[in-house]
Amino acid sequence: MRRLVRFGAVLLTLSCASSAPTDNSGVRVYQAPLTNDAAGMPRGCRLLLVHEPVNMNELQMTGSHDPFRAERERAGQAGGNVLLARSRLLVPRQDYNCPAASPITDCPPSVGSWSLVVFEDYACSGEALNELKALNTPQSR
């Protein structure tokens, strides 16, 4: 029962970051908070790789059409079909001319907030992908 509750909490916090990939890798990107608990993905998902944490700014994470392209390609080469980008805010926006409600792309030359991001590559079964999609219908960017 505890695992089911933990799984539900992860699914509720997942958000889809991209829809159909622009290349043929077939890797979907999801985002979730980086927390200290070891909450997992659906049972049909097998963790392939956890990459070293990186610092990324808001503009890098949201400013382009396909912000995690290199990471998606890397996950695809490892045999994955899901990339989970787990992040934790390190430094909020410091530019007072760019309120948090504004998209960072409307605030040049600001790069926005900074986050610690950990990328995880997963190989998920069709059933597990359906569980993820049920909560987060991908949207085109």
Q: What pLDDT does residue 1 have?
A: 46
pTM comes to: 0.77
| Rounded Cα gap, residues 32 and 65, in angstroms | 19
Averaged over 124-130, what is the pLDDT?
Answer: 91
> What value does the mean pLDDT take over residues 61-88?
93
For residue 44 the two structure tokens come to 């049909």
Q: Which two tokens stand for residue 80?
A: 């994955």
Query: By CB neighbour count within 10 A (0-12 exposed, 13-18 middle, 19+ buried), where does 127 fall?
Result: exposed
What pLDDT digit, counting tens, does each position of 9-53 carry?
454 455 544 444 444 468 999 999 998 665 678 889 999 999 999
Q: Delimit the domains of the chain by residue range.
A: 2-135
Q: How many CA atoms lie within 13 A of 108 on its CB side?
A: 1
Q: What is the pLDDT of residue 109?
A: 87
DSSP state of 19: S
The CB-side HSE value for 50 (13 A sphere, CA atoms) comes to: 8
Give the pLDDT mean for 81-109: 90
